[in-house]
C-alpha cells in the first residue's frame, strides 16, 4: 500500500510557511509516560481496528502503525463512500469489492492517517476534496506562452505561484515532470508574487519579460533554482545567461513595465479566494491534495472520470 498525505506545505498570504498540524515525537515526549499494561490487558481499540481493516479485497493496511490504524478504522466506520451507495467506506469495501471508489477513498484516508492526522480531520479533508468537483471557479484562458501541453487538453492544471516561495520551488519540478509524463495534460503558470517576499515581484516581472522574448520556461526554472539569491543583479545575470538583453530587462524592472499585469494576476487570485502558494486548479477545481506525482495522478484520474460521466461518478 502506498501512503501519501492529502495536504501539502504552502506559503500563506503573509509569506509564512504553513501546513496542517501533525503530532510530532517532541510533543508526544512531553506527555507523562503511560503506565505499562499488564500482560493480560488487551487493547480493545487496536483489536477493533484490526477487525475493521482486515480482509479487505485488494488492500492491506497491516503495516500501518497502531495509532494510524485506529484513525483509519474510525474513518471507515464514520464516513460514507462517495460513490453514492448507502454504506460507510468500510462496509462498501467489504460488501461491494467491485467498487473502485471506496478503494481510492481508502488509500487517500490511509495516507493521511499514516501522516498522523486524526479521523475527524481526515473526514473533513475528504469531504472538501469530493465536494470540490462540484465547486469550481471560472478562470480566464491562460497565456499560452506560460503553458506546457496541448491547448485542447481535457485537463488543465493552473498553478498560482511565487518565485521566492520555497514550497513553490519544491512543487515546480514535480508539476513540470508530471506534465512531461502526461503529454495530454496541460500545465500553466500564473504569477502570484507575495508582498512579504521582497524579490518575488521583480522575479515575476523578469519572468514576464522572458515570456515576451520566448524564454519563459528557461527563466522560470532558473528563478526557482536560485530563489534564495534573487537580488536585482542576480535576476539580470540569470536573464543574460539565457540570452535576454540585460539593459532592456533592467529598464523593464525599473519602469514597472509589467506591474499592471501582475496586479491583475493577483486580483484574479483574490477573486477565487486564494490565500497561499502554490495553489493548483484542475479545470477550475482547486486541487486540495498535496503536490506529488501520486496525488496529481489520483486527482487527474478522478477528473477524467467526472468529465466522462457528464459531471458525476461512474456507477459500478
Q: pLDDT tens across 40-89, in order?
A: 443 444 558 888 999 899 999 999 999 999 999 999 999 999 888 899 99
State mean pLDDT over 257-277: 95
User: Is residue 303 predicted with pLDDT exceeding 50?
Assistant: yes
Whole-angstrom distance, CA of residue 71 vs CA of residue 117: 8
Domain boundaries defined on the chain? 10-131, 144-286
pLDDT tens-digit readout, 94-111? 998 889 999 999 999 999
> What is the DSSP secondary structure assignment for residue 15, as one 8-state letter?
S
User: Is residue 250 predicted with pLDDT exceeding 50?
Assistant: yes
Q: Please state, in angstroms and as integers, the Cα–Cα distance from residue 237 to each residue in 164, 207, 223, 257, following that order.
A: 17, 13, 11, 19
- Please, which pLDDT band fits residue 262 given cuts at 50, 70 and 90? very high
Whole-angstrom distance, CA of residue 94 vs CA of residue 102: 10
Q: What pTM does this model have?
A: 0.85
Sheet of strand 17-18: strand arrangement: 17-18, 10-12, 276-277
Whole-angstrom distance, CA of residue 45 vs CA of residue 59: 21
Q: Which of 17-26, 43-52, 191-200, 219-228 has the lowest mean pLDDT?
A: 17-26
Q: Which CATH code for domain 144-286? A: 3.40.30.10
Whole-angstrom distance, CA of residue 119 vs CA of residue 88: 14
Return the sign of the alpha-carbon dihedral for residues 306, 311, 313, 315.
negative
- pLDDT at position 275, please? 84
Kindly compute the dihedral angle of the four CA atoms of residues 52, 58, 61, 62, in this order, to the nearest 10 degrees. 100
Average pLDDT of the residues of the chain? 88
Share of residues in the chain with pLDDT > 90 (%): 77
- pLDDT at position 316, please? 67
Q: What angle do CA 114, 118, 119 make, to 5 degrees?
A: 95
pLDDT tens-digit readout, 144-175? 999 999 999 999 999 999 999 999 999 999 99
Residues 198 and 229: beta-carbon distance below 8 Å: no
Whole-angstrom distance, CA of residue 277 vs CA of residue 163: 10
Whole-angstrom distance, CA of residue 210 vs CA of residue 223: 11
Residues 149 and 38: beta-carbon distance below 8 Å: no
Whole-angstrom distance, CA of residue 282 vs CA of residue 293: 14
- pLDDT at position 40, please? 40
Q: Hey, what's the cell of 98? A: 467491485
- pLDDT at position 252, please? 98
Burial of 199 (0-12, 13-18, 19+ CB in 10 A): buried
- Please, which pLDDT band fits residue 127 given cuts at 50, 70 and 90? very high
Among the ranges 23-32, 46-55, 183-192, which has the highest mean pLDDT value?
183-192
Q: Hey, what's the cell of 8? A: 501539502
Q: What angle do CA 276, 198, 196 make, to 5 degrees?
A: 35
Share of residues in the chain with pLDDT > 70 (%): 86
pLDDT tens-digit readout, 87-97? 999 999 999 88
Amino acid at each position: 500500500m502506498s501512503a501519501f498525505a492529502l495536504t501539502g506545505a504552502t506559503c500563506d498570504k503573509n509569506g509564512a510557511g504553513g501546513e496542517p498540524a501533525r503530532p510530532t515525537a517532541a510533543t508526544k515526549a512531553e506527555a507523562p509516560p503511560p503506565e505499562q499494561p499488564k500482560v493480560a490487558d488487551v487493547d480493545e481499540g487496536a483489536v477493533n481496528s484490526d477487525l475493521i481493516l482486515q480482509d479487505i479485497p485488494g488492500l492491506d493496511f497491516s503495516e500501518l502503525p497502531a495509532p494510524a490504524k485506529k484513525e483509519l478504522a474510525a474513518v471507515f466506520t464514520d464516513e460514507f463512500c462517495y460513490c453514492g451507495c448507502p454504506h460507510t467506506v468500510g462496509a462498501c469495501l467489504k460488501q461491494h469489492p467491485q467498487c473502485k471508489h471506496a478503494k481510492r477513498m481508502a488509500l487517500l484516508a490511509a495516507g493521511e492517517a499514516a501522516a498522523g492526522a486524526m479521523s475527524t480531520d481526515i473526514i473533513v479533508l475528504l469531504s472538501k476534496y469530493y465536494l470540490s468537483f462540484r465547486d469550481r471557479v471560472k478562470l480566464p484562458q491562460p497565456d499560452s506562452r506560460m503553458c506546457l501541453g496541448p491547448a485542447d487538453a481535457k485537463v488543465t492544471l493552473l498553478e498560482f505561484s511565487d518565485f521566492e516561495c520555497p514550497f513553490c520551488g519544491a512543487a515546480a519540478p514535480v508539476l513540470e515532470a508530471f506534465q512531461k509524463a502526461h503529454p495530454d495534460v496541460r500545465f500553466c503558470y500564473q504569477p502570484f508574487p507575495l508582498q512579504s517576499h521582497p524579490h518575488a515581484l521583480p522575479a515575476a516581472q523578469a519572468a514576464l519579460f522572458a515570456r515576451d522574448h520566448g524564454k519563459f520556461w528557461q527563466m522560470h526554472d532558473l528563478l526557482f533554482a536560485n530563489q534564495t539569491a534573487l537580488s536585482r543583479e542576480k535576476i539580470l545575470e540569470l536573464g543574460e545567461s539565457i540570452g535576454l538583453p540585460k539593459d532592456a530587462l533592467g529598464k523593464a524592472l525599473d519602469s514597472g513595465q509589467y506591474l499592471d499585469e501582475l496586479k491583475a494576476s493577483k486580483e484574479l487570485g483574490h477573486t477565487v479566494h486564494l490565500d497561499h502558494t502554490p495553489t493548483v486548479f484542475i479545470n477550475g477545481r482547486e486541487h486540495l491534495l498535496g503536490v506529488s506525482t501520486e496525488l496529481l495522478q489520483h486527482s487527474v484520474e478522478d477528473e477524467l472520470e467526472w468529465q466522462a460521466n457528464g459531471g458525476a461518478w461512474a456507477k459500478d
